[in-house]
Amino acid sequence: MTTKIYEALKWASSFLQEHGRDENVGEIVLKHLLDYNRTELLLNMREDLEENDWMQFQELVHKHVKGQPIQYLIGYEYFYGRKFFVNEEVLIPRPETEELVEGVLHRIQKHWKNTEQLELVDVGTGSGAIAISLALENKQLTVHTVDIAEESIQVAKRNAQELQANVHFIHNDLLNYFIEENKKVDIVVSNPPYIPHEDWLGLDEVVKDHEPYRALVGGEDGLEFYRRFANDLPQVLKEKSLVAFEVGVNQGEQVADILRKAYPNSNVEVVFDINGKDRMVYMVNG
């Protein structure tokens, strides 16, 4: 007996719901297996699924229900309109981080002439989503990106190659390389680990058991990396500069205070995301 696309989606939706998982996963998996975009999927709802696709579909949905992130199972996630390869060595790019990229692009436009060449460093690159998106969206930027994990850099390099982005990769810790080389930059961007250790213990198993701890947890209170940044930034930033951080919910003002103490004369703002959560902190100097 054949199964139609709409029947497969209906089955997945109720099965996922029953197990407390996101019911959109069925659509993600089918688009992947059939190599369809959303429109094509909707137009072909009454078509029969090949037996092989139906078997694979059920297998992937079952694996996800058992706790495996669907992005690791299919091997990619979309970010800023582009397809990024991901595996368990990197965080899965999130939609709210697209807002950080958007905010950086907007502030570059506002604070610099579009003829100026700018040096930007993305710290803790993971899949390379932030660095690669910025490099492709704005040709003024010379983009450097740092990660402490060689495994993450390999993933980011693969993405840069696939997407033909010109990004320089540095295997190091935070801003150490720039301090040692006495190299100054215009812009520092980071989505650092910011989850307090206690909170990590209570995370959903899909995240806790699969996404890298080093990319999630920022010490006991989640603010460890922002303090280290505040310490290092004065040695790395040019006089006219921009800093952009993603932060955890309810960390906005705390991170803003850390930056204000390091740079009393700067303009620091906390920006809320599309869901009304304090998600980004920007600091502009000069």
234 is in an annotated binding site: no
76 is in an annotated binding site: no
Q: What is the dihedral of CA 49, 51, 57, 62, to 10 degrees?
A: 140
Q: Determine the Cα–Cα distance for residues 46 and 23; give it in Å rounded to an integer.
A: 20
128 is in an annotated binding site: yes
**Degrees (nearest 5) of the Cα angle 165, 191, 125?**
35
What's the half-sphere exposure (Cβ side, CA atoms, 13 Å) at 266? 26
Class of residue 204 by CB neighbours under 10 A (exposed 0-12, middle 13-18, buried 19+) = exposed
126 is in an annotated binding site: yes
194 is in an annotated binding site: yes
93 is in an annotated binding site: no
192 is in an annotated binding site: yes
| Beta-strand relationship, 141-147 and 118-123 | parallel
133 is in an annotated binding site: no
Class of residue 48 by CB neighbours under 10 A (exposed 0-12, middle 13-18, buried 19+) = middle
Phi, psi of 78 (to 5 degrees): -90, 140
- Contact between 185 and 142 (Cβ < 8 Å): no
Q: Determine the Cα–Cα distance for residues 75 and 85; give it in Å rounded to an integer.
A: 6
Q: Which of 257, 143, 152, 155 is nearest to 189 (CA)?
A: 143
147 is in an annotated binding site: yes
Q: Determine the Cα–Cα distance for residues 51 and 134; give it in Å rounded to an integer.
A: 42
Q: Which residues are annotated as a binding site for substrate?
A: 191-194
Q: Which residues are annotated as a binding site?
A: 124-128, 147, 191-194
Q: Which residues are annotated as a binding site for S-adenosyl-L-methionine?
A: 124-128, 147, 191
